[in-house]
């Protein structure tokens, strides 16, 4: 059999007609009808419309063959009737007409605020690359987060356009990118930001205005340059303060699974005292806002006289200052004081 294909380079996934001409040893056509031809192929790629065909009055049998959906796949077809057979030349698939962009990111989980390279590959309906240069690609994104280095790019000789995308500075922000040229487009999978490398501590107090002499809990959250939490455990945090006022329950603490270290801080007993707390691990540190003490709950009067040694029979002024347990003045009006 002399076996030929209606195309030696069909579009991937398209059909061709395979013909098997019965012939003599010198390739002259032999017009014998009714011969059953069995079709086979050199590999698993592609499929026949039927497993067998029958020769017509010209000694020709035909079958429709659907090629593999992947471009660059080479297959040969063999026609067999008993001891008579013949094999076609290679039928090698090529990419079809461009119908989409396959859009990918150099990372699907970049550090928040970092950059990734977005690539848009021109492709046919079966995702085979189409090497067409000079196509202008317009970039858009699914939300307001992040930014492109340029609004458009041009496909290269491989049919690929690229752009640098700067991600949002907040972790867990998911964005998709779409590439468009006229009616052809494609959208990436979600690009979801993660925390970057730890570079600081964000230090907070359970109260910024505690009662003088009272306790607060100081928390130090390990964070990246954009203040996103970094969940690294086992970091030893050393606590220091801006002055001699107040005291820590311990000099050091260790970060938990969320990257947080805590310590109890007892504030100064004098109201109006402002202190900041710093958390440090090697070159990483962070300082709280001011923690300023206020008077506590009134618990006493501080009673004084304008003179402790007045002239006999003279008058003195007695003052009673409402105060907390640490003798800090408590400014509460309207209290009725009974003198004895």
Tens-digit pLDDT string for the chain (340 aa):
999 999 999 999 999 999 999 999 999 999 999 999 999 999 999 999 999 999 999 999 999 999 999 999 999 999 999 999 999 999 999 999 999 999 999 999 999 999 999 999 999 999 999 999 999 999 999 999 999 999 999 999 999 999 999 999 999 999 999 999 999 999 999 999 999 999 999 999 999 999 999 999 999 999 999 999 999 999 999 999 999 999 999 999 999 999 999 999 999 999 999 999 999 999 999 999 999 999 999 999 999 999 999 999 999 999 999 999 999 999 999 999 999 9
CA distance 28 to 63: 21
Write down the residue that tokens 């347990």 correspond to: 325
pLDDT recorded at residue 274: 98
pLDDT recorded at residue 289: 98
Dig out the tokens for 56 from the structure. 């017509």
pLDDT recorded at residue 101: 98
CA distance 248 to 262: 10
Closest CA to 181 of 141, 134, 216: 134
CA distance 226 to 171: 9
CA distance 37 to 60: 10
């Amino acid at each position: 059999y002399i076996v030929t294909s209606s195309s030696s380079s069909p579009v991937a996934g398209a059909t061709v007609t395979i013909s098997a001409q019965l012939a003599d040893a010198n390739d002259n056509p032999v017009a014998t009808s009714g011969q059953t031809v069995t079709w086979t192929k050199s590999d698993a790629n592609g499929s026949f419309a039927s497993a067998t065909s029958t020769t017509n009055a010209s000694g020709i049998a035909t079958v429709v063959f659907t090629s593999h959906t992947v471009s660059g796949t080479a297959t040969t077809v063999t026609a067999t009737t008993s001891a008579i057979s013949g094999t076609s030349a290679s039928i090698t698939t090529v990419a079809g007409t461009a119908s989409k962009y396959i859009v990918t990111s150099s990372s699907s989980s970049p550090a928040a605020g970092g950059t990734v390279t977005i690539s848009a590959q021109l492709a046919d309906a079966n995702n085979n690359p189409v090497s067409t240069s000079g196509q202008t690609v317009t970039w858009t994104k699914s939300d307001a987060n992040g930014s492109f280095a340029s609004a458009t790019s041009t496909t290269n000789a491989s049919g690929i356009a690229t752009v640098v995308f700067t991600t949002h500075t907040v972790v867990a922000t998911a964005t998709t990118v779409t590439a468009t040229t006229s009616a052809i487009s494609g959208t990436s999978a979600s690009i979801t930001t993660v925390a970057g490398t730890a570079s600081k501590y964000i230090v907070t107090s359970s109260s910024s205005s505690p009662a003088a002499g009272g306790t607060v809990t100081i928390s130090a959250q390990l964070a990246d340059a954009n203040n996103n939490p970094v969940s690294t455990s086992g970091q030893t945090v050393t606590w220091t303060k801006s002055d001699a006022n107040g005291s820590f329950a311990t000099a050091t603490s260790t970060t938990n699974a969320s990257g947080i270290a805590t310590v109890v801080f007892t504030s100064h007993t004098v109201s109006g005292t402002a202190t900041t707390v710093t958390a440090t691990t090697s070159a990483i540190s962070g300082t709280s806002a001011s923690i300023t003490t206020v008077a506590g709950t009134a618990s006493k009067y501080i009673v004084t006289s304008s003179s402790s040694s007045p002239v006999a029979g003279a008058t003195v002024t007695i003052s009673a200052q409402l105060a907390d347990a640490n003798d800090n003045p408590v400014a509460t009006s309207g209290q009725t004081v009974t003198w004895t």
